Structure 1
Amino acid sequence: MPDWLAAQTLLGIPLYEWLYAALISAVIYLVLYNLWQISIKKLSGIAQRTATRLDDVVLEVLQGTHQLTILLLSLLFGLHVLELPLKWETRLDHVSFIVIGIQVAVWLNRGVGIWARDHIAAINGPTPAVNPVITSVLSWIFRIAIWSVLLLTILANVGINITAFVASLGVGGVAVALAVQNILGDLFASLAIGLDKPFEVGDFIVFGEVAGAIERVGLKTTRIRSISGEQIICSNTELLKNTIHNYKRMEERRVVFNFNVNYATPPDMIAQIPGIVRQAIESFDNTRFDRSHFKEFGASALVFETVYFITTTDFNLFMDIQQAVNLYLMKEFHAHKVLFAFNTMTLNVPDLQPDNSHTGLNGSSGESTTGKRQQAKH
């Protein structure tokens, strides 16, 4: 049997050397597989005992290792013990580099995915989240960079001149950019939203005729849930062209309201009205009085202007307080016999005496008129 194995050859190598290489490959596979399993178990125990996130990420990355990669590496290491022709050794080196490079790229790609997932998941967490737009854009950039570097490295390793290839990619990239410039414009606009952060998911914004809460900021469009219920989808480029009012970031609300009082109100009572308004506003929580003044003489009323602040951004609470202030003023004005004014108009018409000189109702008028007509005829 040994003589037969020595007599039979494959690629000029006896079969017993092939069996020896297969045995070495099996041993290497068992060693690498067990090391991989032991590393995962050790890291899992460390991750459970520590509060840091780094060991959890490393554990998840290692769990993404493919068993096929371990098998291929074991076979390649086993084949290296054979005295293969130079051509085959070079090919084995290239294949080994490709397998290792792909596995490293898979690890890096998985790490980027875990990073993006954790940052986007933090939106619903107790702490403010990183903008999902910048997270999504950066994850795509990192992944494209990883696989692009891998491709160029593999091409360079197998002996292909990548200089001309990179130059052709640059020219092609310019052509593609011109063809999809609108899409790229929205993409860079989403990147600007992520970096500048004029708004985030959950913010209530108003621009143009649109008012609603941000539901999602995508790579091309932003989705807004309007106050009437429908979803509004707006391109990021068009959105940034408008002046945006972000009410979520309003620390307090400034309220200005006017009311009119009848001109018949006595001056002494007019002087007391700002104090009544102040009492009405300061009787509620979450308010800060600023001023109340007899502003001007209106066309049909005395105009008062009041300014106060609500130390919360809740719109419903603002309306509740304003309603309570209005009711308070109505009761106080009724108690002090102060009337609210409404638009009125007074017409001053002078007295007119009736002119009967041309009516012909008395004899003298008739005769005078007849005489004038007779004189006109002569």
Structure 2
Amino acid sequence: MTLLSPFVRPTPDDRGSCATRLAIGIGLVMVGTIVAALAIVSVSTVSSNMPGLLTGGVECRATGEQPGASDYAQDSIPENYLEIYQEAGEDRGIPWNVLAAIGQVETHHGRWEGPGVTEGWNEAGAAGPMQFGTQADLAATNTWGGEPVMATEDRPEQGYGVDGNDDGVVDVYDPEDAIPAAADYLIANGAPDDLPNAIFAYNRAWWYVEDVLDWADSYADGDFTVDGPTQRAVICTEREDGGPIGEAPDDLSQAVVDWALAQRGKPYLWGGTGPDAFDCSGLTLKAFEQVGVTIPRVARDQWAHGPEIPQGEEQPGDLVFFDTPHQDGGAGPGHVGMVVGDGLQVEAWCTDCGPIATRPYDDPNRSDILGFTRPLEHENAKAELGLD
């Protein structure tokens, strides 16, 4: 079953993200591992309002359509569930195999014998084959709305419960009601345009997103590609107009940019300097290290290291710094990304912001830009490279 993750998702926060040392990051991972081993989750009550990704500047090409059912899907999903998933997906414009993947991860398509699948609710208050929250006083809260089983006319305005089969009853235990309700929940949280973040909203953990997408791929007949800004931000190599992303003005800058872009998809970790996870300044530190250039460890020291470049003159391989507060009250930026061109940066943003990805840096939803630097023009870098 799924992870007991926070039911109210905090606003993504850069504060202190790059100045925090590795020990803190390891501690957080240990806590997360303990939590994951202990409990079960339901749908969250709060819409996932993830930060803007490729919403401006350049957007990478991606396609997606309603897939067919693989032989494995036809053999492993109960026939009535498969039909409902496909009908709900077609009706709501959600890939049916994503709905099926959530149903598999949550309750094995209603076949899990734990509490709250066919009656009652589990300790978090989740119920039914798609594990909607049904109890306002428990962790899952009442995302279903009203009673687990209620007459259609008694359904409150809030909540996602629907009478999917028009039998006059809104029943969380009935897959004909629960599956289209799950589709509505995904739509409310960004689907189909941003399926990864919509799935993240269903159960606040990126491992859960990966698990669901793995099942979705196995259920699809042929290759299944998520058509969403998070996925494009992580894997894109080509702009919408067909041009390559991340073209730098010289070979050294290109090497730095190429290495940073190759880290996309890896998780954010406070204090992380790789190779499997990074924080923001850990990513930029290691990118320059690959070409033999040393820069300071944390964002504020990287900013002070310079040299500063006027906004509008930045180019791929430069660093962009954000005016975010520090937990210790110190001055200077609390976050840094690497410019890759076309108004985009590659960055390790924060714990709740998803994996390392390409995102716009001049975004009204982001902290103010403090400025840009060009580390390869620093006198120490030139000395290290034998260019002085």
TM-score, with normalisation over the residues of structure 1? 0.23
Q: Which has the higher contact order (CA 8 A, sep 6+)?
A: 2
Query: Which one has the largest radius of gyration?
Result: 1
Larger helix share, 1 or 2? 1
Larger strand share, 1 or 2? 1
TM-score, with normalisation over the residues of structure 2? 0.23
